[in-house]
């Protein structure tokens, strides 16, 4: 019995080593047959000194793409907003970002996905005591028919004291639901606590870049 077990274990180890060696041999074979990588012919012909000059120029171009002065970084996964200057963090705040939920219009064709948009944006508007003009989804979500009367869409309470617009109806604004800061609960906008919102509003100007990921 012991001998059989020993033989089985030895066979398993032997198989394992064989597979490993076979795999290694295959990798070497495939690598030798790969014929190397393809490079842009323009790059291949350049001398090392030319390459160094080209790389230096490209690094400068890359630096020029970066924002000067303050910029805003929004981490939608951690629900954190950072106001930064270069590498330094000037202020950090707990926020609420999009819930990722989906709303289908009953009997209709429209669909809304409540994600906070990602990418590079800029502050396009700065509003004091902002008014929210409730879009159709705000009514549909509550089981109501969107009103045709404009005045019925006006909401003066939900957005807090300030709002920073960054395009397509998305804002960084205040909230009545401060206990939900740190959670993904919004319809796509970025909600901020009162003190942080005031600081951000006073610090950034129109055109300040906002990076959301």
Partner 1 sequence: MLTGLLLAAAAFGSALQITDRRVLLDQAKLLDAEVALAKSNKSYLYFDLSSNRVELRIQGVMLKTWDVADYSQWGRPLPSGSFKLEKKEALRTPKRKNITPAADKNKDEKNGGVDLEVLELKDMPGHFNFEFEKGITMRFKAVPHKLSMRLGNFFNSLGRLLTLPMKTILASLRKSNFTDIQLVLRNEIDAQGLYWAAEDGMSVLVLRK
List strand residue ranges (DSSP E) for the chain, in order.
70-75, 80-85, 88-98, 102-104, 111-113, 119-122, 125-128, 132-133, 154-155, 162-165, 171-173, 184-186, 190-192, 209-212
Tokens of 185: 């609960």
Least distance CB 1 / partner 1 (angstroms): 26
Residues that bind partner 1 in the complex, under the rule CB under 8 A? 16, 19-20, 22-23, 26-27, 29-31, 33-34, 37, 39-40, 43-44, 46, 48, 51-52, 54-55, 58-59, 61-63, 65-67, 71, 73, 75-78, 99-104, 106, 113, 118-121, 140-143, 177, 179-180, 183-185, 209, 211, 213
Annotated active-site residue 187? The verdict is: no
Annotated active-site residue 189? The verdict is: yes
Q: Is 134 helix (H, G, I), strand (E, B) or coil?
A: coil
Exactly one of 65, 97, 187, 189 is catalytic; which is it? Answer: 189
Least distance CB 30 / partner 1 (angstroms): 6
Instruction: Collect all residues with Cβ–Cβ distance below 8 Å to 137 and sequence separation of at least 6.
Output: 103, 112, 187
Which residue, 184 or 208, is less far from partner 1 as judged by CB?
184
- Which residues participate in catalysis according to the annotation? 173, 189
């Amino acid at each position: 019995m012991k001998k059989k077990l020993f033989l089985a274990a030895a066979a398993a180890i032997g198989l394992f080593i064989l597979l490993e060696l076979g795999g290694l041999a295959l990798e070497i074979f495939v690598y030798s047959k790969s014929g190397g990588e393809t490079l842009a012919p323009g790059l291949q012909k350049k001398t090392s000194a030319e390459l160094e000059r080209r790389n230096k120029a490209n690094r400068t171009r890359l630096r020029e793409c970066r924002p000067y002065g303050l910029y805003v970084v929004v981490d939608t996964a951690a629900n954190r907003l950072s106001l930064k200057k270069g590498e330094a963090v000037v202020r950090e705040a707990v926020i609420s970002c999009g819930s990722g939920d989906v709303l289908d219009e009953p009997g209709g064709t429209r669909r809304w996905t409540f994600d906070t948009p990602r990418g590079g944006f800029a502050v396009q508007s700065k509003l004091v005591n902002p008014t929210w003009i409730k879009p159709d989804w705000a009514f549909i979500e509550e089981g109501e028919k969107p009103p045709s009367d404009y005045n019925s869409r006006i909401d003066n309470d939900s957005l807090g004291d300030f709002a920073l617009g960054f395009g397509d109806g998305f804002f960084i604004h205040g909230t009545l639901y401060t206990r939900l800061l740190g959670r993904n609960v919004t319809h796509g906008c970025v909600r901020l606590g009162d003190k942080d919102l005031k600081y951000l509003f006073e610090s950034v100007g129109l055109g300040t870049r906002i990076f959301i990921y």
